[in-house]
Amino acid sequence: MFFDPLVLIQIDGGPILDYNKVRDISIYSSIDSTLPELTFKINDSDGRFISTMQLYLGQIVNVMVRDISSDGDKIAARDPHFNPLINLCTFTIKRIYDGLEVGNGYSGFIQIWCTQSWRTFGNYKPKIYSPQLNSNVIRDVCKNANKLANIGINADYWNESSDQGIIPRYKCGESDIEFLETKVLPYTNIDDSNVFFFLDQFGYAHLTSFDKIKNTEEKAIIRAPDSQVNDVWEKVNKLKDEKKIEAYPYEDIKIDIGDIDILKKLGLIKQKVLLINNNTGKVYDGIQKLSARMGGNSGKTFQNVVPISLINMASMEATSSKIIENRIFDDAMAIAGNSEIQLEDMFQIIVSVGNILNEVLPGDTINLIPPLQIMDTSETINTPGLENKIVSWLDGKWIVKSVQYNQKEKSKASTSLILIRPTFIYSSDYTTIDNPDRFYQI
Residue-level pLDDT at 198: 98
165 falls within a domain? yes
Q: Where are the alpha helices (DSSP H) in 70-174?
A: 70-78, 134-143
Contacts of 79 (CB under 8 A, 6+ apart): none
Burial class (CB in 10 A: 0-12, 13-18, 19+), 345: buried
For residues 232 and 298, give the distance between their C-alpha atoms in angstroms, rounded to a whole number: 25
For residues 397 and 425, give the distance between their C-alpha atoms in angstroms, rounded to a whole number: 8
Sign of the C-alpha dihedral computed for residues 301, 303, 309 and 314 taken in this order: negative
Instruction: Classify 345 as helix, strand or coil.
Output: coil
For residues 361 and 373, give the distance between their C-alpha atoms in angstroms, rounded to a whole number: 30
Q: What is the DSSP string of 364-422?
A: -EEEEE--------HHHHHSTTGGGG-B-TT-EEEEEEEEEEEESSTT-EEEEEEEEES
Whether residue 331 is found in the same domain as residue 266: yes
121 falls within a domain? no
- Supply angle C-alpha 254, 257, 258, rounded to 5: 145
Pairing of strands 218-223, 127-129: unpaired
Whether residue 357 is found in the same domain as residue 388: yes
189 falls within a domain? yes
Show which of 178, 211, 244 is a domain's final residue: 211
Whether residue 149 is found in the same domain as residue 201: yes
Contact status, residue 29 vs residue 410, Cβ threshold 8 Å: no
Reference 140, options 162, 125, 156, 119; nearest CA is 125
Contacts 24+ apart (CB under 8 A), 429-434: 429/300, 429/386, 429/389, 430/386, 430/389, 430/390, 430/391, 431/390, 431/391, 431/393, 432/373, 432/375, 432/390, 432/391, 432/392, 432/393, 433/393
Task: Give how far Cα 213 sits from Cα of 34, 155, 193, 398, 399, Å.
Answer: 16, 15, 10, 10, 7
Instruction: Classify 349 as helix, strand or coil.
Output: strand
Contact status, residue 309 vs residue 260, Cβ threshold 8 Å: no
Whether residue 250 is found in the same domain as residue 382: yes
141 falls within a domain? yes
DSSP 339: G
405 falls within a domain? yes
Whether residue 220 is found in the same domain as residue 326: no
Q: Which residues pair with 285 in a beta bridge?
A: 274
Q: What is the amino acid identity at position 201?
A: Q
Using alpha carbons only, how large is the chain's radius of gyration in Å? Answer: 24
Q: Which residues of the chain have pLDDT under 70?
A: 71-81, 230-231, 373-389
Reference 171, options 158, 160, 182; nearest CA is 182
Count Cα atoms within 13 angstroms, Cβ side, for 84.
Answer: 15
Whether residue 24 is found in the same domain as residue 73: yes
Contact status, residue 182 vs residue 173, Cβ threshold 8 Å: no
122 falls within a domain? no
398 falls within a domain? yes
Residue-level pLDDT at 281: 83
Show which of 177, 211, 245 is a domain's final residue: 211
Range(s) of the domain holding residue 172:
127-211
For residues 196 and 211, give the distance between their C-alpha atoms in angstroms, rounded to a whole number: 11
Whether residue 252 is found in the same domain as residue 201: no
DSSP 353: E
Q: What is the amino acid identity at position 120?
A: T
Whether residue 190 is found in the same domain as residue 330: no
Contacts of 1 (CB under 8 A, 6+ apart): 246, 355, 357, 358, 359
Show which of 211, 230, 246 is a domain's final residue: 211
CATH of the domain at 138: 3.55.50
pLDDT tens digit string along 330-339?
899 899 999 9
Whether residue 25 is found in the same domain as residue 111: yes
Q: What is the amino acid identity at position 390?
A: I
Number of domains in the chain: 4
Residue-level pLDDT at 383: 47
Residue-level pLDDT at 426: 92
295 falls within a domain? yes
Residue-level pLDDT at 73: 63
Q: What is the amino acid identity at position 146?
A: N
For residues 112 and 274, give the distance between their C-alpha atoms in angstroms, rounded to a whole number: 46
Whether residue 190 is found in the same domain as residue 175: yes
DSSP 341: G
Whether residue 17 is found in the same domain as residue 89: yes
Q: What is the amino acid identity at position 232?
A: V
Question: Distance from CA of residue 362 to its chain's centroid?
Answer: 4
Whether residue 349 is found in the same domain as residue 336: no
Residue-level pLDDT at 10: 96
